[in-house]
Amino acid sequence: MLVFLSTLIGLPDIAPRLGFQILAHQLSGGRLFPAACAGTGTSPGDCPKYTFLVWDLYLPEVLLALTVGAALGLAGGALQGVFRNPLADPFLLGISSGGTLGAALLYVYHIGEASADLFLPLFAFVGAVGTGLVILVVARGRYGSVETLLLTGVALANLLSAVLSLVLLYNLVGSEQVTFWLLGGLQLADWQVDGIAFGAVLVFGTLLCLYGRELNLLQLGSDVAQSAGVDAPRVRLRVLLLSSLVTAVAVAFTGVIGFVGLVSPHIVRRLLGSDYRLVLPGAALVGALFLLSASDVSYLAFPGSLLPLGIFTAFAGVPFFLFLLYRQRRTTTMGSG
């Protein structure tokens, strides 16, 4: 239903009835509404054009928004768990930036162009996982410290974007294509991209969701977790790798979309409590809905424009981030008993 609505929101030129018929026609394999455009006042000659718009252009965007939103929400929830830090998020920690750099290198230097759809996430993954490992090493032994973690992430994100700027500066050809990562958007969506993204997020995301119990125990500190049977270093490494993987998939196809990973787990925790067995799948769901809504709102607010989604999520996410920072400070001073 939401998918359907969102598809129509993205297409102001197409009447709801026409859009509905096209979707129903395609989904049912032609059994419903055998003539997709009949009875909508559309000339039969324009029907393939509209079908292309609805089915091959906008529906993949909607589905990609759901997939990427789920990936980011899940990665955010898992990273907040593994770093025991409510402010962790793939964007803030520089993991997204690492992925962007990896993907940008591929674009700029035309490596493996033939099957870019597969190579993109691969390169993004190398960048994202590399960044994640650096953070894990730097923040080692100080997982509780919000400051160390965020500063490491911010420093890395800055370094990585400096490297990215350098790469773009010396390679003006192809740099326009890269620019969209820095802003984040769904324009790359098509059925093949959706398939790769969905498959990867489904596999890695499911694996990630299996670490709920371990993340619950890690909240009590490595030592306690270890004494209760959790192999803390191994779990941390695996969760970080899987989070980087799903983040990499998102970054590869939609660029840097921040704050979805930060906001979604908090909403879930507020609704369902702090059990990571619920927080992880919940954050995926909320993230998917959050990103789709953001996309819808951006289409509604600026019809016809291609406002990058990353800008939009930042507008919603930054105030929330500041609110969390403020609240965290209050609870650490009050709850130190």
Q: What residues line the site for another protein (CB under 8 A)? A: 84, 86, 144, 210-211, 213-214, 216-217, 219-221, 223-224, 226-231, 269, 273-275, 335, 337
CB of 86 to another protein, least distance (A): 8
Distance of alpha carbon 95 from alpha carbon 92, whole angstroms? 8
3-class DSSP assignment, residue 137: helix
Distance of alpha carbon 236 from alpha carbon 287, whole angstroms? 22
Query: Which two structure tokens, joined as six digits, stand for 76?
Result: 């955010």
Q: Which residue has the tokens 């390169």?
A: 123
User: Do the beta carbons of residue 96 and residue 225 sit within 8 Å?
Assistant: no
Q: Which is nearer to another protein, 162 or 228 (CB)?
A: 228
CB of 35 to another protein, least distance (A): 48
Distance of alpha carbon 128 from alpha carbon 95, whole angstroms? 5
Q: Which is nearer to another protein, 199 or 233 (CB)?
A: 233
CB of 259 to another protein, least distance (A): 21
Q: Which is nearer to another protein, 41 or 335 (CB)?
A: 335
CB of 206 to another protein, least distance (A): 11
Q: Which is nearer to another protein, 62 or 268 (CB)?
A: 268
CB of 143 to another protein, least distance (A): 10
Q: Which is nearer to another protein, 61 or 214 (CB)?
A: 214
User: Do the beta carbons of residue 167 and residue 111 sit within 8 Å?
Assistant: no
Amino acid identity of residue 122, one-letter, is L
CB of 226 to another protein, least distance (A): 6
Torsion 238-243-246-251 (CA) sign: negative
Q: Which is nearer to another protein, 161 or 222 (CB)?
A: 222
The number of residues in the chain equals 337
Beta strands in 255-327 (DSSP E): none
